[in-house]
Amino acid sequence: MFNYSFRWNQALAALPQMLDGARVTLGIALQSMAIGLVLAVVLTLCRRSGNWFAAAIATGWVEIARNTPGLFQIYMAHFGLGAFGIHLSPFTALLSGIAFNNAGYLAENFRGALTAIPETQTRAARSLGLSGGQTFQLIVLPQMLRIAFLPTTNQMVWAILMTSLGVTVGMNADLAGVTQELNARSFRTFEFFAIAAVIYYLITKAVTLAARLVAWRLFIY
């Protein structure tokens, strides 16, 4: 049945290159999360603002992010923006596509988290003389981030998985890109991608574990 001879040594020799790729993967995921979190807070504020225009744009963003494929969003950043004369490199296209997606999903998580914070918290803060902005920043936001922490960790895992899509727009520095280049040169597809799979698994596990540690340190109350 198998007259294919596995050449693991050849694949393992490329491990340092792949680990470099893994670092890039993790970097893109972290950056996309940082941007996504900030944007999600902005989207949440827009949706709460009572300004119908801002709310409509934010809602549109959230629904598009959640109802079209992540790969489509990356394509849009890479090919679609060309119509406006904006030509993004594979790296920027990948990063902005994932950040767009993260922002949409995180904003929706935040909306759910907000319903879990009693209205009386805002009331108590306002009655102490805190302004609306201060109340959001000091009372609502920290509690919202805590309640949404678990779904946010899940989104981080999704962000890591999504980075692999970069290869479809010509990204060659991240783990999937490096693996694909090695594969194109040697045709040891199975070996290279199996090693990549193991590395991805370890990255997601490490990130999940790290998130748990952070939660444990941060949310002592």
Partner 1 sequence: MPTTALTLADLAFLAQGAGLTLAITAVAVACGTVLGILCGILRVQFGPFWTAPLTFLLDVFRSVPLLIRLVLANAAQSIAKLGWGPFTTSCIVLSLYTAAYCTEIVRGAIVAVPQPLRRASRSLGLSWRQDMTFVVAPLATRVALPSWIGLTLGVMKDSALVLWLGLIELLRASQILVTRLQEPLLILMICGGIYFLLSFPIARLGGLLEKRWSPR
Partner 2 sequence: MIEIQNVRKSFGSLEVLKGIDLTVHKGEVVTIIGGSGSGKSTLLTCINGLEPIASGRIVVDGIDVHGKGTNLDALRSKIGIVFQQWNAFPHYTGLENVMLAPRKVLGLTRQAAEEIALKHLTAVGLADKLTVYPTRLSGGQQQRMAIARALAMSPEYMLFDEVTSALDPMLVGEVLDTLRMLASQGMTMICVTHEMKFAREVSDRVAFFHRGVMAEIAPPDALFGAPREPETRAFLAATH
Tokens of 197: 């799979």
Rounded alpha-carbon distances, angstroms, from residue 1 to 4, 7, 41, 100, 191: 9, 17, 55, 46, 18
Considering only residues 55, 114, 146, 211, which one is a binding residue for partner 2 as defined by CB under 8 A? 146
Residue 45 engages partner 2 in binding (rule: CB under 8 A): no
Q: Which stretch binds partner 1 (CB under 8 A): 12-20, 78-86, 120-128, 210-218?
A: 78-86
Residue 142 engages partner 1 in binding (rule: CB under 8 A): no
Helix (H/G/I), strand (E/B), else coil: 209: helix
Residue 124 engages partner 2 in binding (rule: CB under 8 A): yes
Considering only residues 134, 150, 206, 210, which one is a binding residue for partner 2 as defined by CB under 8 A? 134
Residue 215 engages partner 2 in binding (rule: CB under 8 A): no
**Residue 28 and residue 205 in contact, taking contact as beta carbons nearer than 8 Å:** no
Tokens of 9: 């040594």
**Residue 97 and residue 77 in contact, taking contact as beta carbons nearer than 8 Å:** yes
Binding to partner 1 by CB under 8 A, coded x per residue (else -) over 154-193, reads: ---x--xxxxxx-xx-------x--x---------xx--x
Binding to partner 2 by CB under 8 A, coded x per residue (else -) over 100-119, reads: ------------------x-
Q: Which has the closest alpha carbon to 198: 5, 4, 27, 8?
A: 8
